[in-house]
Structure 1
Amino acid sequence: MSQPTGLRERKRQATRAAIVRAATELFLARGFAATSVTEIATAAEVSRRTFFLYFPSKEDVLFHHIEGHLQIAQRALDELGPEATAWNAVQEATTALVDAFDTAGVDELADLRTEMIRGAQGLPASLMVRLQSVHTTLVTLIRQRFPDPALGPEISAHLGACLGAVAATAFSAHGARRAPAMRTAVQQAGAGFR
């Protein structure tokens, strides 16, 4: 049974949502590079200091959704049947992440994320930290279900290959082709681990 959300937590969630909404509108209207943290804070009706309490940088707003999608991946793992293998768990968790991106409305910023990454000529540190956190969390969850120590390195490598393939595909495919290409990338990355 979930605990009711207190007033302080509801206010915190509302402030975070206001920052994300303001940043999204500004990024889409003006572009990522032309939008400053000060402008985002002003549009969200918060101070710069408050912005930085929620996000270390404006790049982090572009990737704000990743941690929330972990809950969706965890539900996919929880729904696996008793016949599932560690390979199935990695494939299902990664596909659940792709599906979350595809249905959560976050793809309105996908082209801006791609533009930012291309301009930086690589993944920003904030995204690398988030992807590492996703990898670590999912490996832990999958290993809880499949605790055989011999499977640990394979689970980690398989998941790393899938996440890397998804990230690379997300930044190379465009529009409506992005999500199907990401699903295909998960299958192809997993083929060598079957």
Structure 2
Amino acid sequence: MVASVLMLSGAAACQEPSTRTSSPHTTPSAHAPTATSGGVPAAVKRYRAPREVEAAAAPVRIDIPVLEVESDLERVGKQKDGTIGVPKKPSHAAWYVDSAPPGQVGAAVMLGHVDSKSGPAVFYRLHTLRKGDSVVVHRADKSDIRFVVDRVEKFDKDDFPSVDVYFPTVNPTLRLITCGGDFIRSAGGYQENVVVFASLAKGGAS
């Protein structure tokens, strides 16, 4: 929703896994990012959409060809404790329903697990995306929309760029989020978040 205020803090943190792993990349445990409750960046509080926009259909599937990722999309919202829910299935990514539908003016936010107790999860190789790679979103009205990766960045979980990720944009954009960095159980698990920033491709809607 372009004009809505997102009640998110300036940090995102990964869930702590239920079992210890010798290596987060060889014997992984369930893990995906969440956004913690707390203060909302002032810029987000002040934001209002500059114009009315036509609502886009909800996303139902995401394809990332270069990673050979084809995933149905779950829907997640903000929980009672202020955190964003995570996908129930490690093989599924999820669309944060309080963000813009992909293709509508604004930032569409999707997240997914990096790994699970049984092995790599849907966004395991998200950090390997490069500028120019394509991300295709299939929508409920049978239309497709293509985004192109602008950049991929890692952020310490205590320094998550909420404004850059969640701030409503004047053009259709996409953000993909998962966990990354070192896995330190005593410090709460993975220490970083991987964020992919992508923009609508030319002629991206079909």
The answer, yes or no, to whether TM exceeds 0.5 is no
Higher relative contact order (CA 8 A, sep 6+): 2
Larger Rg: 1
Higher strand share: 2
By percentage of residues, which structure has more helix? 1
